[in-house]
Structure 1
Amino acid sequence: MTDGGGYLLDNQQAEAGVRFDALATLFNPSTFRHIDALGVAEGWRCWEVGAGGASVPSWLAERVGPTGHVLATDIDVSWMAADADYEVHRHDVGADPPPGDGFDLVHARLVLVHVPQRAAALAAMTSALRPGGWLLVEEADPMMQPLACPDESGPAQRLANKLKHDFRTLMAQRGVDLSYGRTLPRLLRDAGLADVEADAFFPITGAACALLEQATVRQIRDRLIAAGLATGEEIDRHLDNLATGLLDVATSPMISAWGRRPA
């Protein structure tokens, strides 16, 4: 997510590591289930787009073994070790040409919704597949379930939902498509992929949900205040409410869509 001053959720901020860990806890099981169902095996060539942290490319490297290859790309690769058991490249999927072709699997999670050149990025990812290769794209759809607390039972929940609305306002101002997730099946078919399917995963509450919310709010605190969307007192009160462990904070539905390049 970008604005004129850089990333709204900047990977250089200390909270980025907390966010990566929380996202991995919440969504890696679903992601890995989908990739396993697509048949990932030793010898596969995989491109992990916008990897962010190391958890997914590391898991892929274990699955494909020494005869396979995993390429992890991002515009900020600082959270991935240069000596990892996968290849790391700095790459902007919306602006740069694909970093190779003939991939058995191309995967992106929480990437395209934040890329201004979404259509070009999706085309690049599709073109990098081998005939018969799979594309798996996973994106949140905040407008499908727009609340931080679906059970709005009191003032703490109302405040959480108010701040979630403020966050969505910031995202929309920066060109984030808040309804992008639901369009993935159609977009994959329009890209010429076959055997397109999709599902959604929707955590309702849990420790990782709270950690993700805390880290996100801390990262966007100054921008919320500068935009006049929230006050410091509101943000502090919300963080205090989260610290009690009694606030059931949900995530947006994560929509996973996959399709195969025709042989």
Structure 2
Amino acid sequence: MHPLASRPRYLFKDDPELLREQFRCLSDAYDPITLPRLAATGVTEGWRCLEVGSGAGTVAHWLAERVAPTGSVLATDLRPPAFDARPGLTVLTHDIRHDPLPEAAFDLIVARLVLQHLPERRTVLDRLVRALVPGGVLQIDELDTSYEPPLLTPDGESARLYAKFTATRSAAMRAAGGDPHWGRHVPAALRAAGLVDLDPQPHILLRGPASAALRLQLHLSHHLHDQLLAAGMTEDELLRVRELMRDPSFHAASSVLYSVHGRRPGPRNAS
């Protein structure tokens, strides 16, 4: 593996407790989108699958159940995976930018909210395409944070505060080398990488009381505390925006999640 110094400047602290809560919020918010999209690929017994950036492992475990008993799932993450291997499911600490990846090896590859954090996203995308068998499918789920307006707030000042929070969070991502708007560019990027049968699907969630989508934003206000301050928020503003997001009357639209399928040209041989 490559030394720690070679790793990308990820936005998030390498804190196990903070990461566990983030993975929980992400799974609760986005599994209801990601899993039906994966089912739509036809993934079934015998398929060989790769998940890049496996987080809590909910997607990898779902795939492992679908492809059992003759298929396989490789789940990778830059950090040691937060879940254990099982028959048909291999977990691997892996840097998708540099570490070896077999070519023409997988019937299905999924990467959710990973590539937008990597300055080398186009190069990584090409690697993922080469790792597909002919006829294999790549699913990329990424956000475009240019749209996430407040819908119900106590007053205009609260709406402006929330808008500053979301803009500052996106600025912190850019400062770390990410592209918070990359979701809208995924379909064109998959086409440029040579994939066909493109199927982009946009999804918007409601950030309302007790929703996983809103819990995620509250979590990010803590997880990204230092980065948000460096990007222009104050301690008082962070305290006030957290109080706002706990207000039972608060509602906002989420960012747009683009879930995009593309297929590598050619017939897919039976696994």
Once the 2 structures are TM-superposed, how far is the Cα of residue 179 of structure 1 from its aligned partner? Answer: 2.4
In 2, distance between residues paired with 1:24 and 1:116? 24
SS of the residue 2:253 aligns to: coil
Residues 1:251 and 2:254 aligned together? yes
* 1:98-154 deviation per Cα after TM superposition (whole angstroms, max 9, x unaligned): 1564211000000000012111110111011111110111100112x043x245662
Label 1:31 to 1:165 Cα distance change in 2 as closer, same or farther (>3 A): same
- In structure 2, what is the Cα distance between the partners aligned to 1:13 and 1:205? 25
Q: Indicate yes or no: 2:267 matched with 1:234.
A: no
Judged with a 3 Å threshold, the aligned counterparts in structure 2 of structure 1 residues 20 and 180 are, in CA distance, closer, same or farther, namely: same
1:223 equivalent in structure 2: 227
In structure 2, the partner of 1:203 is 205
Q: Confirm or deny that 1:161 pairs with 2:158.
A: no
What's the CA shift string for 1:8-57, capped at 9, x where partnerless? 22352522222211211221111111111110101110000111111100
- C-alpha deviations, 1:64-109, integer Å up to 9, x for none? 1121100000101241224575101111112223156421100000
Q: Is residue 2:46 matched to residue 1:33?
A: no
With the length of structure 1 as denominator, give the TM-score of the two structures.
0.90
Matched, 1:8 2:11: yes
Counterpart of 1:212 (choices 211, 216, 223) is: 216
Partner-residue secondary structure (3-state), 1:66: coil
TM-score, length-normalised on structure 2? Answer: 0.88
Instruction: Give the Cα separation in 2 of the matches to 1:91 and 1:204.
Output: 34
Residues in 1 aligned to 2:8 and 2:181: alpha-carbon distance in whole angstroms = 24
Q: State how many pairs are aligned.
A: 259
Which residue pairs with 1:69 in the alignment? 72
C-alpha RMSD over aligned residues: 2.3
Q: Which amino acid is 2:176 matched to? A: R
Cα 1:257–1:6, aligned 2, differ >3 Å: closer, same or farther? closer
Superposition deviation, residue 251 in structure 1: 2.1
Contact 2:144 2:256 in 1 (8 A): yes
In 1, distance between residues paired with 2:86 and 2:44? 23
1:108–1:231 Cα change, 3 Å: same
Amino acid at match of 1:217: S
Distance 1:6 1:131, change over 3 A: closer
Unaligned runs of 5+ in 1: none
Q: Structure 2: 5+ residue runs without aligned partners? A: 267-271
Contact 1:13 1:219 in 2 (8 A): no
Contact 1:95 1:117 in 2 (8 A): no
In the alignment, which of 98, 101, 104 is matched to residue 98 of structure 1? 101
Aligned-partner Cα distance in 2 for 1:197–1:5: 29
